[in-house]
Structure 1
Amino acid sequence: MVDEQNIYEAALTRLPGVGAQLTRQLVSYCGSPKAVFQAPPGKLLKIPGVGPKLVKSIAEHARTALVQAEECVKRATEEGVQLLFYTSPKYPDRLKQVPDAPTMLYYRGNANLNQRRIVSMVGTRQISAYGQTVTERIVEELKAYNVMIVSGLAYGVDVVAHRAALQAGLPTIGVMASGPDIVYPAVHRKYAERMLTQGGLLTENTFGTKPDAPRFPARNRIIAGMSDCTIVVEAAMKSGTLITADIAHSYDKEVMAVPGNITSPVSEGTNYLIKSLKAVAYTSVQDLVELLNWDLEDEAAAKTTVAAFNPADYSEDELKVLSVLKQTREEHIDNLSWKAQLPVSLLASVLLGLEFKGIIKAMPGKRFQLI
């Protein structure tokens, strides 16, 4: 049976001129993807960023988008692909925080995309013997911390990291620049199939999408956005790997780089990142543990056995809001709306109730802070 909600979610991604941020705006004000399609023009025109031209476009393309979406959802069901709209609890929370996060992800696998600790490993396709040894060592060191390894399933550092994670028993996610039905490069299919039972394959592209060149930088933002830290093992000065590091920086994510031989072309990029203070040097797992405060987290977790909030004291909607604010401490009402999956109209009353309970306080500029 085809899920009606999935159809409307998928249809939103097929409307011309409706990007990720505008999609969030529409859903936030209308309440759901289905409500966007059912909303009268007058209501849509009251939404910030929506003009007469867009309203007309939505009306003209709605039927085609819904037909295409129904076909997509049917195929996803048949092929075991999960469609993760940004409001889905299975959607990566870390990725949800970045401004250009995909509206929808196509996912095959069994890993929890919100695992406690996630690290991305990226680097050159022309990996050296040193790079291979270091990549395998890093993954082995991360085993004690039950880390999920994310990479791009490409030649070189990517596939070595995936393979090492499989051997270490760690979950590993391959983020693809193609559709969920196309494994690229095809020679890595055997690893991709193993990852389906020990991790998974993730993409923002629909079925049949070829891995064209422009899709790789877009793929890299997902790799950077869904992890706590991006580790660059080896990279040339002009490479997609350094683009991934820059993207991670723009997201305020941690970046680490492995120091390399100064005579090696594939170490020029990593040494540059360290020299220019764009990355912290990785020499052992302790460097990563201290950078991300994993040691302090573990100490705090050992001492804390009682949750900060008693669920019995709050409604389901209040707990959604508190869950978001526990992670970020402070949020704008629009961001809070889509992160908590509550329409703005309902969110306003929920926030007022939490203010009365003395749990949050309103800040200038429609921002709310956890006390």
Structure 2
Amino acid sequence: MNSTELLHILALLKVEGVGDVVAKKLINHCGSAENIFQAKTSQLKAIDGVGDVLIKNLKDKSVYEKAEQELRVIQTENYNVLYYQNDNYPDKLKHCIDGPILLFSAGNINFENRRIISIVGTRQITSYGTEFCKKLLEDLAVFNPIIVSGFAYGVDIVAHQAAMDNNLQTIGVLAHGLNQIYPKTHKKYVAKMEQNGGFLTEFWSNSNPDKENFVRRNRIVAGMSEATIVIESAEKGGSLITANLANDYNRDVFAVPGRTSDKFSQGCNDLIKTQRANLMTSAADLVYCLNWEIASPTRNDKAVQKQLFVSLDNDEQKIYDYLQKNGKQLLDVIALDCDFPIYRISSILLNMELKGVIRPLPGKLFEAV
């Protein structure tokens, strides 16, 4: 995107009464942000929902002064700009009607991998939630997903750290401009995150982490992801807003159950009870619901190769012998013939995939290697 085009987009975003939904409507009708400002009044009035007040606001030349100031910051700091019509913009977020038309990023973010999951939850994570999160990402590392969270205290930062520990790309979606970090105590994680991932925001450089910004931030977390996982949450909290947004965007939502007496399991239990989230007890639940398959190894540290001698427990050996004898079989058929409940068979099959003794096939089929 050239600087002239970016300048007009920035100016459009500063027009009073223009949000992401209206901006997209105007751009789709006129072809570009520059064309909007050059359009005749009769052309603008032909756009559904555009009235005299908005047309008057589009004539306000002061928006260019604000846009020029932000453009200088972007160029000076060398921020990456992601426009909703360009290839570098998160694919799933393009399909959210209220997704931001512009995103700014810092670091080394690469969206070629379409397996993107968001992990959210309480800022007061317990040892139970911490251990679950770490084990989850350790088990999911073989699928090499991008891990998205909000860089806040608690579940967010544990998810980012666990992703980095497993050499996974991780993205912190911020509720403020890129020229600051909130909370300040998390500055120590910035350099490492930017090596393999980084930060994403829709907010300009002069934006502070105001309360209302976090709700806007949550729609990006939910919208850009294939699935949202709630690790722990009280009865009310921002992570439940993210889960509801993910449901509104027709994304998969997962929640980690806990004891009914645990304060920070109440929100998750309620999501499951009201069927707004799938039950998550292990990585296998996510893999099964999203129908993920292990790709060919591309990273030396996480290469999954068939071993010459593999240690299988009794349950794994039973399933392996069954597949050797019967060939490709559906997950449900394997569970029935080998006498395992579905929730148990999913976990066993994932472990066997990780050991390289079976492989998943399209249509939830599995075969012995």
Same fold (TM over 0.5): yes
Residue 48 of structure 2 corresponds to residue 48 of structure 1: yes
Report the Cα offset of residue 182 of structure 1.
1.5
Using the alignment, how far apart are the partners of 1:74 and 1:2 within structure 2?
Answer: 13
Deviation at 1:2, TM superposition (A): 7.1
After TM superposition, what 4+ stretches of structure 1 lie above 6 angstroms from structure 2? none
Q: Distance in 2 between matches of 1:267 and 1:282?
A: 13
Task: Give the aligned partner of residue 195 of structure 2.
Answer: 197
Q: Distance in 1 between matches of 2:269 and 2:54?
A: 47
Q: Which has the higher contact order (CA 8 A, sep 6+)?
A: 1
Aligned counterparts of 1:137 and 1:170: Cα–Cα separation in 2 = 14
Structure 1 distance, partners of 2:2, 2:62, is 17
The 5-angstrom pairing of residues 204-353 of structure 1 reads 204-295=202-293
How far apart are residue 54 of structure 1 and its match?
A: 1.4
Counterpart Cα distance in 2 of 1:113 and 1:70: 29
8 Å contact 1:95–1:226 — kept in the other structure?
A: yes
d(CA) in 2 for partners of 1:57 and 1:3?
23
2:111 counterpart of 1:108: no
The answer for the alignment partner of 1:184 in structure 2 is 182
1:74 and 1:114 mapped to 2: Cα distance?
A: 29
Query: Are positions 1:3 and 2:8 aligned together?
Result: no
Could you tell me how far apart the structure 2 residues matched to 1:3 and 1:197 are?
27
> Alpha carbon RMSD of aligned pairs, Å?
1.7
Letter in structure 1 aligned against 2:173: V
TM superposition score normalised by structure 1: 0.77
**1:196-217 Cα deviation digits (max 9, x unpaired):** 1211111111012111111111
Unaligned segments of structure 1, at least 5 residues? 300-371
1:27: how far off? 0.9
Contact 2:173 2:200 in 1 (8 A): yes
Counterpart of 1:214 in 2: which secondary structure?
helix
Q: Which amino acid aligns with 2:3?
A: D
- What SS does the aligned partner of 1:196 have? helix
Q: How far, CA to CA, are the matches of 2:71 and 2:80 in structure 1?
A: 9
**Range that drifts further, 47-56 or 252-261:** 47-56
Q: Alignment partner for residue 136 of structure 2, among 135, 138, 144?
A: 138
Describe the superposition over 1:161-188 as per-residue Cα deviations: whole angstroms up to 9, x where unpaired. 0011111110000011111111100111
* Partner SS, residue 34 of structure 2: helix
Equivalent pair of 1:92/1:114 in contact (CA under 8 Å): no
Contact 1:174–1:192, Cα closer than 8 Å, also in 2: no
SS of equivalent residue, structure 1 residue 256: strand
CA distance in 2, matches of 1:133, 1:42: 61
Aligned counterparts of 1:108 and 1:193: Cα–Cα separation in 2:
10
Q: Pick the aligned partner of 1:80 from 78, 81, 96.
A: 78
Which residue does the alignment assign to 1:348? none
Paired AA for residue 239 in structure 1: G
Q: What is the distance in 2 between the residues matched to 1:102 and 1:114? A: 20
Q: Is the 8 A contact 1:2 1:73 kept in 2?
A: no
For 1:180, what is the secondary structure of its paired residue?
coil
C-alpha distance in 1, partners of 2:230/2:48?
A: 40
**What residue is the counterpart of 1:35 in the other structure?**
35
Stretch of structure 1 that moved more, 282-291 or 140-149: 282-291
Name the residue aligned to 1:359: none
Q: Secondary structure at the match of 2:58?
A: helix
SS at match of 2:234: coil
1:266-286: CA deviations, max 9, x gaps?
111111111221111111212
Alignment of 1:152-171 (within 5 A): 152-171=150-169
Answer yes or no: is 1:122 the counterpart of 2:120: yes
The question of whether the paired residues in 2 share the 8 Å contact of 1:231 and 1:257 is answered with yes
CA distance in 2, matches of 1:265, 1:107: 35
Q: CA deviation at 1:114?
A: 5.0
3-state secondary structure, aligned to 1:112: coil
TM-score calculated relative to the size of structure 2 = 0.77
Q: Structure 1's 2 and 280: CA in aligned 2 closer, same or farther, altered over 3 A?
A: closer
Alignment of 1:348-367 (within 5 A): none
Calculate percent identity across the aligned residue pairs.
Answer: 43
Secondary structure of the 2:190 match is helix
SS at match of 1:149: strand
Secondary structure, aligned partner of 1:119: strand
> What's the CA shift string for 1:117-168, capped at 9, x where partnerless?
0000001111111111011111111110010000000000000000111111
Aligned residues of 1:110 and 1:198 also touching (Cα < 8 A): yes
Task: Name the SS of the counterpart of 2:129 in structure 1.
Answer: helix
**Unmatched segments (≥5 aa) in structure 2:** 297-369
Alpha-carbon distance between aligned partners in 2 of 1:43 and 1:243, rounded to the nearest angstrom? 39
Matched residue count: 296
For 2:184 and 2:44, the matched residues in 1 are separated by 44
The 8 Å contact of residues 224 and 248 in structure 1, kept in 2 or not, is answered as yes
* 1:173 alignment counterpart: 171
Secondary structure, aligned partner of 2:7: helix
Amino acid at match of 1:37: F
Q: Single out whichever of 90-99 and 229-238 deviates more from structure 2.
A: 90-99
